[in-house]
Every structure is written in structure tokens, then in C-alpha cells.
A and B are shown apart, each in its own frame.
Chain A
Amino acid sequence: MNDVKKDLKKPAKIMLREIVDKVYAEAWEAKKRGEPVGWSSSKFPAEIAETLGLKVCYPENQAAAIAAKHGGKRMCEYAESLGYDNDICGYARISLAFAAGAECEEKPMPQPDFLLCCNNICNCMTKWYENIARMHNIPLIMIDIPYNNTPEVNDENITYIRAQFENAIKQLEKISGKKFNTEKFKRVCENANRTAKAWLKACSFCQYKPSPLSGFDLFNHMAVVVTARCRKESAEAFEALAAEYEESVNNGTSTWHYDENYRIMFEGIPCWPELQNLFRPLKEKGINTTAIVYAPAFGFVYNNMDEMIRAYCKAPNSVCLETGVDWREGICRENKVDGILVHYNRSCKPWSGYMPEMERRFRKDLGVAVVGFDGDQADPRNFANAQYITRVEGLYEIMESKKNGGL
């Protein structure tokens, strides 16, 4: 009895970590049983594979974990030795290296029997997965989401994507040997919605001053939204996380253990190999991150198939400039930021490609300090700590000057 109680009190952080571990453990078990295991891009409609009971791993999540454990350079170099240019996204290079057989103790996962590719986040995905399909000679299920130039998604896009969803279901029925059960699909969608709502709720606690959390925590917790958003336990874990934050607000505690002199949005994904370096000047100067773009980007809620399709059209890098700006300015206002630190991520062309224009809009619309630095989410060779420190100092100075009534 006592044990159960203790278990109920498990910190949400642990619950979340265990969920990701379980996703990979289940994939290994499925592989051992001889069941097909898939690899999926982070914003492929996970609801489909989940409904069919297929076990799936997530190369982007794997690449982030490898990079955070300092295996990024080694894996990237391995991919380069196979002929992949160092200009290519670091996640793709790490994943291609792993698929080609590079040793990787940081985060091993079963090799794939089928691939789920959705290019809403980038076109790089298309060729990355094609390359893996070629290496392993396995089926590739491709859902193409055309880029949007307006905040609304056009009806012809919905019709096109709906047909692809149906196609994907048929292909996956064959792979799984199961019939697609619409009742189960409904339940899976309910879970996904509940997870998204709980994720958004947890993220929303950044609005409190001081914030009960360090925004960087959310980058870690995001792994669950990527790998397990259709599971009930994910929703429960995020609900628990939100409850913890609520308690912290009431108790005046926080996972950010430093001064909160300033609050910023961290634009983009962090440089995983450099988390310590990223963090150091921020904590020294008491700058907490209270806004990250992944909050709205993964918090999608829908009520029917059409809405679900529209939701999958709204990924970072698939929305137009105006929607991208809206998302960011929304969370900057809600979470009361004083500045924005823009990561010019060498790995991510679609993301970094409109950042200079976004910077201008942030300055104009929000009047906050905006400073950029050069980095990479996975390849440490593209990050210079000295430049980063100088830029954070610059950001701090502008925020100070604004606070003191300067420009």
C-alpha cells in the first residue's frame, strides 16, 4: 500500500523520463518478438501507428539524445565519411550514420522495418528517410504536407493530405497485419488531445513571475510529446507536471534556482551538446527562459479528422511567416519576456531562413531586446562559446538599458 502511495508521488520529471524509456523498451521487445518496428519523423500523425499497435522509434529524439551525450560530433563525422556533406542537418547526419551501422552507446534503438515520413517540418526529412529506406530496403510511408503561405490552410491541401492519411492507413494495415479500428483511433486521438492540453497547461506556468520552472526543462519534456503523445500515461504525466508547477507557484519555489532578473524567449532548439555552455551565462546573469516555440508548436488540439489534418499542417517550418510571428509573439506576451535570444541553427535551414525578418518584427511589435548567436542543435563544431557569451552579454545590456528607460 505504502509503495503505491510512493509511486503516485513520483515526480513528474521521472514519470516523463520513464515514458520515453518505455517507448524504446517496447520497440526493442517488439523487435525481439519479430514484429515490425518503425522509425518516424516527429510530426508524422502518430495516431495512425498507435491505433494499429505498431511500435515506433523517433530518430530526431534519438539524435538529440546522442548529441546531448556528446556523441554528435562522432556520428556526424561518420556520416561525412559516407559522403554526406557537413552542411546537412545534424540530426539527419546522426541518424544516417546510425542507420548505416555506426556504433552508438548513447542511445541505441532497433533498426527499422518501415519508415513513417512526414515532411511538414522540413523537406530534408524526405531525402533523409529515402536514404534510410534505400540502405535497409524497407517500405517508406510518405505524407507530404505542402508549405503554407497563409495562416489558413487551403481546402485543396486538406483533400490532398486526407487522401494520404487514408493511403498511409492502408499501407500500415498491411505492415501490421491488423485492421484499422476506428473506435481505438478515437481513443488514441482523445489521448493525444489530452496530452496536448496538459502540455500546453504545463508550459503556461511560465507566465508566472517568478516562473516556477526553468524553460529549458520544457525542451527535455518535449521528448514525450514527440514520442508518446497518444498515450494516456503521457497525458497523466503532463497533468502531474502542471500540478507540480501549480504547487510551486503557491509555495514560491521553482526549478530555476537562480535570480530571475530577466525573462527571455529562447528561439529555436537548443544546442544539445552545449547545454552547460548555454546555461552558464544565463544563470550568471539571472536570465530565465520563459518561452519556447515548441509550446504552441506541439500543443495541437483537434476534434475531428479535418481538424487533425489542419493541426499537422501547423508545424514549425510549415507555417507562413505571419503565423510563425504570431505564435512567438503570443508566448512572448503571455510569458512576459524582456528579450529574445535567437539561435541561428546551422542544422535547420527552414527554421533559420526567416529569422532575420522575424527579429525585425519582434523588435518592432514587442519592443524587446533581440540578439542572435550561431550554433547547431547537434554538431558542436558549429558553436563558438566565446561568441555566445558575448551575445548573451549584449542581450543583457540591452535589457538593462531598456529597464532603465533607454532605447
Chain B
Amino acid sequence: MTDIEILLAQFEEIANNPKKQLEQYISEGKKVIGCYPYYVPEELIYAAGMIPMGLWGKRGNPNKAKEYFAPFYCSLVQMNLEMALNGDLQKLSGVVHTTLCDTLRPSSQNFRVAMDKIPMIFLAHPQNRKPEFGVEYTMAIYSKMLNQLEEIVGRKVSAGDIKEAIKVYNENRQAKREFVKNAGMHPELISAVQRSAVLKSSYFMEKHLHTTMLNELNKMLQASPIEEWHGTRVVTSGIICDNPSFLKILDDNRIAIAADDVAHESRSFRKDAPYNEDPIRSLAVQFADQDQDTILYDPSLNSRPSHIIDLVKNSNAQGVIVLMMTFCDPEEMEYPSLYNALKEAKIPCLKIGYNHQITDFGQARTSLQAFAEVLSMKN
């Protein structure tokens, strides 16, 4: 095994075993806070000396969650509730629940009722986030979140703690952005499966540790000579794309992920928190700066398609694969604009249905093989 492979195996081990990570933290006497998607200011949790862990569902079928949701809700939210009802989350000291889409709204209520033993920190982000009044509202709700965290941890969190956390998180985001670039340049060294594991593992790790490992990997990748890639390159877009069986199809067909517009991946680390004397304001401004996301109001109306086109161009990709999360209406709503823009820019686009329940990606395999051929002809 090369040094790169050893490091990748470590990332994979963590990404595939969140439960083990959780047990480890609990055994060390640390408190863990679960975080629903999207845009939870994890810095506050880190500053309070607790461990934030991402809750993005897991592979499988909802069973107990059916007591709360009709079938037409995304598997991300259904499987989070399923985990909660199965007792997988009982060791958490709290869960932050957001509300940016129409599924998260009722989910927050279902989760609160179903998990009444665990404090739920409710976080209703603003859509009019950019004007000063939006920033101030975000500050107010972040401050409330901090108060709840302080109650859980039983101590006050200082501005200094938060500033330090912001530094740690900005460094981590920076490292992830670099990694995405490096992985795009070295598909021969980083498979799609491994790329996903490296990014996913950060949801289950203390960020400074993730950064340390990732910086090491980045250094090794940067030192590796660029090799010619005998395959195609794509930009992926969607909510989440972490199923190794699916990603392996990309690898089998030599389709490299050159960049991504995936909520679970790059959308979550595109923007750093800028420095401000008041660290709560830094975090609020960071949220205000978020853009090009299907779940966020876009005052400029059309920034996402052009962002994705830029991603394609800047990463030398030949096409876009849209992983359409089943029953995700924000993503569905923004698909026609994206599709039309890509068509106009003559960028091939393939839409594939995706969710946590799919075990057989046979149909996706056939479409991806055909898509790879289309892309290779573009070369």
C-alpha cells in the first residue's frame, strides 16, 4: 500500500463507521450533537467543546418512520427519523434541526415528538439572509442556539472559543476545497468511492483532526505528477452522493468527478466565515454569503446554472451528472433551469434518480455507460 492508500483507507474506515466514532466519543466522555442538513453553524458546537456529527440519513428502508411520514418524503429525512426511532441516536446530547425545505418543516415536528428525550435545537434560517436585517435575524437565532448548547454543556462559551472554532472550520473548509481540486486532477489516485469517503468522514470527525489528515493527503497529491486520464470527467450535482455501489459504477467506467455541486460535499464548504470582531456576526455573514443552492432564495434569480457551467469549464469536465434525490422538490424545481442552461452551453447532462433506498443501480449503470460514451466523443 502506498502512503496515499494508507491514508485513504483511514478515511474510508471512518466514513463507513459513524457508529464506532460515536461510541469512541462517548467513551471519552465527550458530548455529541447531531446536525441535520443544511448550514448548521457547527462552529458553535465545536466552540462549546462538543462534537457535531452530520445526520444525512443512511442506506436502507424506512420502517418505523412510516408512523410519521407518508411515503412521498425524501429518504434523507425518513432515514434520520428511522435512526432516531431505532435508538441509534440515543447517545446524542442534542440534535440541531433546520427547516429550509418543506420536508424539513414537518420533520422538525416529527423529530421533536418522536425523540422527546433528546433536546432538539430548532434552527429556522432566513431566506432573506443578505440584507442587514437578515444578518441580524441569523445572529439572533445563532445566539439562541448557542444558549441551548451552553445549557447542554453546562458552561458559558466565550467569543474567543467561537473565534478559535471558526479558524478551525475555515481551515477545514480550505483543505476540503483543495482536496476537491486535487482529487479532480488525480483521478488515477483518488477514485470516486474514495473521494466521497474523504469528504464524508469529516461529518464524523473532530475538524482539526480531519484537517490534519487531509492536509497530509493534499500534500501527497500535490507532489504527485499529473498523469494523463484515459477516461472522462464530470461535475456531479445533487443533495448527496455517497453510496459506494453507485460511485463504483463511475470508477468502473472511468468517469472522474472533476468538481461537484453536491450539498453534502462542496455546497457545504464553499464559503468561509469572514473575520469579524463579533464571531456570531462572522457566522451570520457566512450564511448570508451562501448562494447557488436549490434550497436558498436567490435574489439574483439565476446564479446556480451559471455557477455549474463555470464549474464544468474550470475543472475541465465534459458533462454534468445530476443525482436527483427522490421526492426532493427544491432540487426538482431547479432542474429545468439547470438543464436548459446546460443545453444552451452544449454541456451534456445526465439525470439519475438517487436515494438511500436504492440497492440495485443496474439502470444507472446502463445510463452511465452510455453517458461515458457521449462524453468521450466530446474529447
Binding site for B on A (CB under 8 A): 82-85, 87-89, 92, 119, 122-124, 126-128, 130-131, 133-134, 140, 142-144, 146-149, 154, 156-157, 159-160, 163-164, 167, 317, 320-321, 344, 346, 349-350, 352-357, 374
In the complex, what residues of B have CB within 8 A of residue A131's CB? 333, 336-337
| Docked-complex contact A354 and B109, CB < 8 angstroms | yes
* A350 to chain B: closest residue by CB: B102
For A134, what are the chain B residues with a Cβ–Cβ distance below 8 Å?
301-302, 337
Check if B102 sits within 8 Å of A142, measured CB to CB. Answer: no
- B64-72, B170-178, B231-239, B256-264: which one contacts chain A? B64-72
A352 to B105, CA, bound (A): 11
The chain B residue sitting closest to A143, CB to CB, is B128
Q: Is B147 an interface residue (CB 8 A)?
A: no
Nearest neighbor of B113 in chain A, beta-carbon distance: A357
8 Å CB contact of B122 from A92, A124, A144, A149: A149
Q: Return the chain A residue nearest B141 by Cβ.
A: A156
**Chain A nearest Cβ from B43, distance in angstroms:** 20
**Chain B 56-91 interface mask (CB, 8 Å, partner A; 1/0):** 000000000001111011000000000000000000
Offer 7 A-B interface pairs, CB within 8 angstroms, sorted by A.
Answer: A83-B335, A85-B324, A89-B329, A123-B101, A127-B334, A355-B70, A357-B110
User: What is the CB-to-nearest-CB distance from B190 to chain A, in angstroms, rounded to a whole number?
Assistant: 32
**Which of chain A's residues have a CB closer than 8 A to the CB of B128?**
142-144, 160, 164
On whether A123 and B136 interact (CB within 8 A), knowing A84-B336, A89-B329, A317-B105, the answer reads no
Within the complex, the shortest CB–CB distance from A161 to chain B, in Å, comes to 9
Whether the pair A122, B102 counts as a contact (CB closer than 8 A) is yes
Per-position 1/0 for B114-136, Cβ under 8 A of A? 00000000101111100101101
Asked whether B252 is an interface residue with its Cβ less than 8 Å from the other chain, the reply is no
Give A320 to B113 CA distance when docked, in angstroms: 11
A112 to chain B, nearest CB (A): 14
Which chain B positions have C-beta within 8 A of A127? 294, 329-330, 333-334
Cβ–Cβ contact A82 & B336, under 8 A:
yes
Q: Which residues of A contact B125 (CB under 8 A)?
A: 146
Shortest distance between the CB of A360 and any CB in chain B (Å) = 9
A167 contact set on B, CB distance < 8 A: 131, 133
Contact yes or no, A142 B108, CB < 8 A: no
Partner of B298, one of A124, A130, A321: A130
A167 to B140, CA, bound (A): 20
Identify the closest chain A residue to B330 (Cβ): A127
Are A87 and B327 in contact, CB atoms less than 8 angstroms apart?
yes
Chain B residues contacting A119 (CB-CB under 8 Å) are 127
- Which residues of chain A are within 8 angstroms of B324 by Cβ–Cβ distance? 85
Is the C-beta of B112 less than 8 angstroms from some C-beta in chain A?
yes
Q: Is B286 an interface residue (CB 8 A)?
A: no
- B residues 326-365 near A (Cβ < 8 Å) are 326-327, 329-330, 332-337, 339-340
B133 near A159 with CB under 8 A, answer yes
Residue contact B103 to A353, C-beta cutoff 8 Å: yes
Interface positions, chain B 155-207, Cβ under 8 Å from A, are none
CB-CB under 8 A from B329, the residues of chain A are: 85, 87-89, 124, 127, 349
Query: Is B109 in contact with A357, judged by CB distance below 8 angstroms?
Result: yes
Report how far A164 CA is from B72 CA in the complex, Å.
Answer: 33
The answer to whether B131 and A88 touch across the interface, beta carbons within 8 angstroms, is no
The answer to whether A349 touches B102, judged by C-beta atoms less than 8 angstroms apart, is yes
- Set A123, A160, A320: member contacting B102, Cβ < 8 A: A123
Closest 6 CB pairs of A and B: A353-B106, A83-B336, A163-B133, A156-B140, A146-B124, A160-B137
- Which residues does chain B contribute within 8 Å of A344, judged by CB atoms? 70
Bound CA–CA A163/B140 (angstroms):
15
Question: Nearest Cβ in chain A — how far from B371, in angstroms?
Answer: 18
Q: What separation, in Å, do the CA atoms of A128 and B334 have in the docked complex?
A: 9
Complex Cα–Cα for A349 and B77 (A): 12
**A82-B336, A142-B299 known, 7 other contacts, Cβ within 8 Å:** A83-B336, A147-B124, A154-B140, A317-B105, A346-B72, A353-B103, A357-B68
Does B107 interact with chain A (Cβ within 8 Å)?
yes
Bound complex: CA of A164 vs CA of B140, how far in Å? 16
- A88-B333, A147-B105 known; A160-B126 Cβ under 8 A: yes
CB distance from B11 to the nearest CB of A (A): 34
B229 at the interface (CB under 8 A from A): no
Which B residues are CB-close (under 8 A) to A357? 68, 109-110, 113
**Which residues from B are CB-within-8-Å of A130?**
297-298, 301
Contacting residues of chain B (290-310) with chain A, CB-CB under 8 angstroms: 294-295, 297-299, 301-302
CB of A160 within 8 A of CB of B133, answer yes
Hey, which chain A residues are within 8 Å of B140, CB to CB? 154, 156, 159-160
Q: Is the CB of B333 within 8 A of A144?
A: no
Q: Which of B105, B113, B126, B131 contacts A350 (CB 8 A)?
A: B105
Partner of A349, one of B73, B99, B122, B301: B73
Pair B110/A124 contact, Cβ less than 8 Å: no
- Residues of chain A with a CB closer than 8 A to B337's CB: 131, 134
How far is A357 from B298 in the complex, measured between Cα atoms in Å? 33
Contact status B332-A85, CB under 8 Å: yes
- B110 in contact with A144 (CB, 8 Å): no
With a cutoff of 8 Å between Cβ atoms, the chain A residues found around residue B326 in the complex are 87
B33 contacts the other chain (Cβ, under 8 Å)?
no
Q: Does B100 reach chain A (CB closer than 8 Å)?
A: yes
- Give the residues in chain A near B69, CB-CB below 8 Å: 353, 356
